[in-house]
């Protein structure tokens, strides 16, 4: 049987969700794929053991209970027509459940390899030897449970499929309340972006989806773009029970009756060189095509070999299509919600023959680098590329400067011990300690804003960060400042002061005077602005306290012009009074926040008597968040 679900139709559907112009539209599909074996083996999840449920497996004949690339790649045949591909692909077996019997359904099988890229220069790389991956969640009972992006699982009931327009019905799951006279299509799309390092991680974190399935961009953390596999099984529900609606009749091999337990697995057995040649053959990248139309792959096509290919290491068990059985293999009772039903008595497992056991391959890739990852030499800032907006950096803060340059931003990030420096929209600098694992990489041309302070440089793009890294920049260092209580030039609050316990203007302001004043107020942080205004508190308020570059605190203190007392607009020179003073121990005896009004009589050396009006702006009433969170800064971020 051969059901042809038009790839043009599919691509048309997908294209609606694609916003960016996509220069690479190539996709391959392979229709000549035959079942290899249906058995309870899962070399990924249950190496050298019995899998929890039955799988319907396609591909290389070396399939067994372990996975080792060399062994799989050396298989004598593949049940997929392209004999250069000794990979295995599988989904759970689907059963028809009626009157307490379970009937394994036959399926036509096919895969697609989507080769779409975010930009034409981005290579699609061959699967690394040893790669294995899963897509979907066998325990899911809703689409949200699957953790998959929209469109990664599809259920289509084929009806009048060959008329125009066709009568197919797409559904959220497999419980169609109609029959499907040409079959039930279930598809799973695998993630496309690889981290370049791990060949398998049980949490799946070695692979990521792009931001738009097979279109879109790979996250910065997963820079290697691989072919986007879509595995498609078309189940012959109509052969066993023609005319009967599917609703409440279908059950996956793990007992799931909702449909959402659909998942799929891939273990790589490709001949890497051949796949790489095909991925670089212009005649194979002209659009949507069958794999057979790709000249590089055509010479490896052999449908007859595929059709007769048998598991060379033997099979654990056999469940012929359409032969009813009394229960699902293993402990897999019907399961629609809640936790998985247990079996009482327990169901014994079959014995695993030695021929199906073996040694697992490495979980970490060790071949030539796929990424040429840019590790910066010490104390230099190295360009990392153009990534998503300000929220792409972790523990970040940002500020703007109309005369921004790359250098200014980098030196600010270094001052604050941040190894990532990102420029945004020509005027913003974002510093962060790490890159969000979900951050996306964009084409360099997306970072095309000229720096306000140097028109010959770029400073990011609209909502895009131009990212630099200096792995040595991890220690806070306010160069040239010797006061050990100094904690940097920081931003005033947005809607109210950054410190709210006490506030005073004084035309003879000095740093010591402000510190002493705040100590008298029993506060632990002192801050000065405008050369003459001192404020005190125990924690930052009103969004204040965000790091700024040292050179933005450049207004001399009114009472001692060789000291700096903040900036002229929004910046504060700040001091942590719980830190040791120069040449001595911590000065502060401050403890609990004080709500007393400011009656000033300083107690420290350099006693001051307050002669000016004291303005108390409010007690420190709310325990404001101490450390800013980059989410708070989102107002600057992605346009
Ligand atoms: C199941 O039982 C019902 C009622 O007896 C019957 O109509 C139906 O044909 C049976 N289904 C199968 C597959 O035998
Ligand atoms: C890595 O560098 C080598 C040598 O410069 C080059 O041939 C290869 O194409 C690069 N790989 C990537 C992924 O950029
Ligand atoms: C003014 O500040 C400088 C630098 O902190 C300091 O060395 C000097 O002693 C101060 N002068 C007075 C009169 O306090
Ligand atoms: C002040 O220093 C103390 C001791 O190192 C530290 O726990 C506290 O977080 C600092 N406060 C600020 C606002 O930097």
Instruction: Please check the confidence at residue 2 and state whether its pLDDT lies above 60.
Output: no
Bridge-based pairing of strands 88-92 and 107-114 is unpaired
pLDDT in tens, 173-223: 999 999 999 999 999 999 999 989 899 999 999 999 988 887 888 887 788
Say whether both 601 and 628 belong to one domain: no
What is the structure's pLDDT at 251? 98
Say whether both 221 and 247 belong to one domain: yes
Residue 291 is given by DSSP the state G
- How far apart are alpha carbons 408 and 428 in whole angstroms? 11
- Residue 291 within a domain: yes
pLDDT in tens, 60-86: 999 999 999 999 999 999 999 999 999
Ligand 4 atom having least distance to the Cα of 545: 13
The partner residues of 580 in beta bridges, in order of sequence, read 586
Helix (H, G, I), strand (E, B) or coil at 237: helix
- Residue 366 within a domain: no
Q: Hey, whose CA ends up nearest to atom 6 of ligand 4?
A: 578
The answer to whether 171 touches 137, Cβ cutoff 8 Å, is no
Q: Hey, whose CA ends up nearest to atom 10 of ligand 3?
A: 560
Does residue 484 have its Cβ closer than 6 Å to ligand 4? no
Ligand 3 atom having least distance to the Cα of 512: 14
Does residue 99 have its Cβ closer than 6 Å to ligand 1? yes
- Range of lowest pLDDT (244-258, 397-411, 603-617): 603-617
Does residue 563 have its Cβ closer than 6 Å to ligand 3? yes
Residue 429 is given by DSSP the state E
pLDDT in tens, 404-427: 999 999 999 999 999 999 999 999
- Residue 314 within a domain: yes
Say whether both 40 and 103 belong to one domain: yes
- How far apart are alpha carbons 387 and 171 in whole angstroms? 36
Q: Which of 184, 29, 7 is nearest to 107 (CA)?
A: 184
- Residue 576 within a domain: yes
Quote the ligand 4 centre to 497 CA distance (angstroms): 19
Quote the ligand 4 centre to 539 CA distance (angstroms): 10
Q: Hey, whose CA ends up nearest to atom 4 of ligand 2?
A: 372
Ligand 2 atom having least distance to the Cα of 123: 13
- How far apart are alpha carbons 207 and 279 in whole angstroms? 20
Domain end position, chosen among 356, 387, 407? 356
Of 478, 576, 620, the residue with max ligand 4 atoms within 8 A of its CB, to mutate for a pocket test, comes to 576
Q: Which of 102, 584, 98 is nearest to 328 (CA)?
A: 102
What is the structure's pLDDT at 15? 35
Does residue 372 have its Cβ closer than 6 Å to ligand 2? yes
Residue 335 is given by DSSP the state B
Say whether both 125 and 138 belong to one domain: yes
Measured in Å, how far apart are the chain's first and last C-alpha atoms? 51
Of 480, 508, 563, the residue with max ligand 3 atoms within 8 A of its CB, to mutate for a pocket test, comes to 563
User: 615 or 208, which is more confident?
Assistant: 208
- How far apart are alpha carbons 81 and 465 in whole angstroms? 45
Quote the ligand 4 centre to 389 CA distance (angstroms): 30
Q: Is 0.95 topped by the overall pTM?
A: no
Does residue 198 have its Cβ closer than 6 Å to ligand 4? no
- Range of lowest pLDDT (354-358, 561-565, 567-571, 613-617): 613-617
Say whether both 142 and 169 belong to one domain: yes
Backbone φ and ψ for 171, nearest 5 degrees, come out as -135, 165
Q: Which of 90, 108, 109, 139 is nearest to 254 (CA)?
A: 139
Q: Which of 145, 149, 147, 152 is nearest to 211 (CA)?
A: 149
**Confidence band, pLDDT 50/70/90 cuts, at residue 373:** low
Of 484, 544, 578, 590, the residue with max ligand 4 atoms within 8 A of its CB, to mutate for a pocket test, comes to 578
What is the structure's pLDDT at 635? 27
Number of separate domains in the chain: 3
Say whether both 601 and 613 belong to one domain: no
Helix (H) or strand (E) holding 144: helix 143-146
Q: Hey, whose CA ends up nearest to atom 7 of ligand 2?
A: 372
Say whether both 196 and 56 belong to one domain: yes
- Residue 434 within a domain: yes
Quote the ligand 3 centre to 533 CA distance (angstroms): 18
**Confidence band, pLDDT 50/70/90 cuts, at residue 342:** very high
Say whether both 617 and 600 belong to one domain: no
The tokens for 541 are 């308020």
Q: Which of 424, 439, 428 is nearest to 403 (CA)?
A: 428
- How far apart are alpha carbons 384 and 381 in whole angstroms? 9
Quote the ligand 4 centre to 537 CA distance (angstroms): 12
Q: Which of 426, 416, 412, 422 is nearest to 390 (CA)?
A: 422
Q: Which of 437, 614, 407 is nearest to 520 (CA)?
A: 614
Ligand nearest to the CA of 249: 1
- How far apart are alpha carbons 429 and 551 in whole angstroms? 14
Q: Hey, whose CA ends up nearest to atom 3 of ligand 2?
A: 372
Residue 275 is given by DSSP the state H
- Residue 289 within a domain: yes
Ligand 3 atom having least distance to the Cα of 483: 5
Does residue 368 have its Cβ closer than 6 Å to ligand 2? no
Bridge-based pairing of strands 454-458 and 486-491 is unpaired
Does residue 45 have its Cβ closer than 6 Å to ligand 4? no
Say whether both 453 and 523 belong to one domain: no
Please state the length of the chain.
Answer: 639
Quote the ligand 3 centre to 512 CA distance (angstroms): 9
Say whether both 330 and 201 belong to one domain: yes
**Confidence band, pLDDT 50/70/90 cuts, at residue 324:** very high
The tokens for 59 are 């591909």
What is the structure's pLDDT at 270? 98
- How far apart are alpha carbons 376 and 439 in whole angstroms? 20
**Confidence band, pLDDT 50/70/90 cuts, at residue 637:** very low
Other residues' Cβ atoms within 10 Å of the Cβ of residue 224:
21
Other residues' Cβ atoms within 10 Å of the Cβ of residue 369:
10
Does residue 541 have its Cβ closer than 6 Å to ligand 4? no
Tell me the Ramachandran region of residue 103: left when phi exceeds 0, alpha when psi lies from -120 to 50, beta otherwise: beta
The answer to whether 116 touches 22, Cβ cutoff 8 Å, is yes
Quote the ligand 2 centre to 372 CA distance (angstroms): 6
Q: How far is CA 13 from CA 10, 249, 286, 418, in A?
A: 5, 29, 20, 44
Quote the ligand 1 centre to 321 CA distance (angstroms): 19
Task: Tell me which range, 40-54, 164-178, 201-215, 373-387, is most confidently predicted by mean pLDDT.
Answer: 40-54
Which residues contact residue 544 at a Cβ distance below 8 angstroms, ignoring those fewer than 6 apart? 490, 491, 492, 493, 494, 497, 498, 499, 572
Q: Hey, whose CA ends up nearest to atom 5 of ligand 3?
A: 563
Say whether both 515 and 443 belong to one domain: no
For residue 81, whether the previous peptide bond is cis, meaning omega lies within 30 degrees of 0, is no
**Average of per-residue pLDDT values in the chain:** 86
- How far apart are alpha carbons 174 and 184 in whole angstroms? 8
Quote the ligand 1 centre to 339 CA distance (angstroms): 29
Q: Which domain holds residue 20?
A: 5-356
The answer to whether 3 touches 29, Cβ cutoff 8 Å, is no
Q: Which of 347, 377, 131, 119 is nearest to 255 (CA)?
A: 347
The tokens for 576 are 């942590």
Does residue 455 have its Cβ closer than 6 Å to ligand 1? no
Say whether both 582 and 624 belong to one domain: no
Ligand 2 atom having least distance to the Cα of 370: 13
Instruction: Please check the confidence at residue 6 and state whether its pLDDT lies above 70.
Output: no
- Residue 197 within a domain: yes
- Residue 639 within a domain: yes
């Amino acid at each position: 049987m051969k059901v042809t679900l038009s790839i043009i139709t599919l691509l048309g559907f997908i294209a609606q969700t694609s916003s960016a112009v996509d220069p690479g539209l190539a996709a391959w599909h392979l229709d000549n794929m035959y079942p290899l074996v249906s058995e309870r083996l899962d070399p990924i999840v249950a190496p050298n053991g019995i899998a929890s449920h039955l799988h319907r497996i396609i591909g290389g004949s070396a399939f067994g209970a372990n996975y080792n690339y060399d062994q799989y790649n050396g298989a004598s045949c593949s049940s997929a027509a392209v004999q250069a591909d000794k990979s295995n692909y599988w989904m759970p077996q689907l059963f028809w459940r009626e009157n307490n019997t379970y009937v394994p359904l036959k399926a036509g099988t096919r895969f697609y390899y989507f080769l779409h890229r975010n930009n034409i220069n981005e290579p699609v790389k061959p699967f690394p030897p040893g790669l294995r991956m899963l897509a979907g969640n066998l325990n899911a009972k809703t689409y949200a449970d699957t953790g998959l992006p929209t469109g990664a699982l599809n259920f289509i009931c084929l009806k009048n499929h060959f008329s125009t327009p066709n009568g197919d019905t797409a559904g959220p799951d497999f419980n169609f309340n109609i029959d499907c006279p040409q079959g039930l299509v279930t598809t799973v799309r695998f993630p496309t972006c690889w981290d370049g390092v791990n060949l398998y991680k049980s949490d799946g974190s070695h692979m990521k989806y792009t931001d738009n399935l097979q279109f879109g961009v790979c996250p910065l953390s997963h820079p290697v773009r691989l072919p986007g596999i879509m595995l498609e099984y078309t189940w012959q529900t109509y052969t066993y029970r023609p005319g009967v609606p599917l609703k409440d009749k279908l059950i996956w091999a793990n007992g799931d009756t909702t449909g959402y337990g659909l998942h799929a697995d891939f273990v790589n057995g490709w001949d890497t060189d051949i796949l790489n040649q095909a991925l670089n053959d212009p005649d194979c990248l002209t659009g949507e095509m069958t794999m057979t139309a790709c000249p590089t792959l055509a010479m490896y096509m052999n449908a007859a070999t595929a059709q007769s290919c048998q598991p060379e290491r033997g099979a654990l068990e056999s469940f012929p299509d359409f032969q009813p059985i009394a229960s699902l293999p293993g402990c897999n009772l019907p399961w629609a919600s809640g936790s998985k039903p247990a079996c009482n008595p327990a169901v014994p497992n079959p014995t695993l023959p030695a021929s199906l056991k073996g040694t697992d391959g490495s979980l970490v890739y060790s071949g030539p680098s796929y990424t040429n990852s840019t590790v910066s030499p010490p104390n230099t800032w190295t360009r990392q590329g153009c990534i998503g907006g300000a929220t792409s950096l972790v523990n970040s803060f940002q500020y703007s400067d109309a005369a921004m340059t790359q250098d200014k931003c980098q030196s600010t990030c270094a001052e604050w011990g941040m190894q990532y420096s990102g420029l945004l929209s020509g005027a913003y600098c974002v510093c962060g300690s790490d890159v969000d694992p979900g951050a996306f990489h964009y084409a360099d041309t997306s970072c095309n804003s000229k720096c306000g302070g140097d028109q010959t440089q770029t400073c990011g793009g609209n909502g895009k960060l131009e990212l630099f890294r200096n792995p040595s920049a991890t220690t806070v260092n306010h160069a040239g400042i010797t006061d050990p209580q100094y904690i940097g030039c920081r931003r005033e609050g947005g809607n109210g002061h950054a410190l709210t316990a006490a506030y005073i203007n004084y035309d003879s302001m000095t740093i010591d005077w402000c510190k002493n004043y705040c100590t008298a107020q029993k506060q632990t942080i002192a801050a000065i602005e405008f050369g003459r205004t001192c404020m005190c508190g125990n924690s930052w308020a009103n969004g204040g306290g965000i790091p700024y570059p040292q050179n933005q605190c450049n207004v001399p203190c009114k009472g001692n012009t060789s000291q700096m007392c903040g900036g002229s607009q929004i910046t504060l020179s700040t001091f942590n009074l719980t830190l040791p003073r120069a040449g001595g121990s911590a000065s502060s005896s401050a403890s609990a926040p004080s709500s007393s009004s400011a009656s000033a009589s300083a107690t420290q050396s350099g006693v001051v008597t307050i002669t000016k009006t004291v303005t108390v702006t409010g007690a420190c009433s709310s325990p404001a968040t101490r450390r800013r969170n980059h989410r708070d800064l989102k107002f600057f971020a992605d346009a």
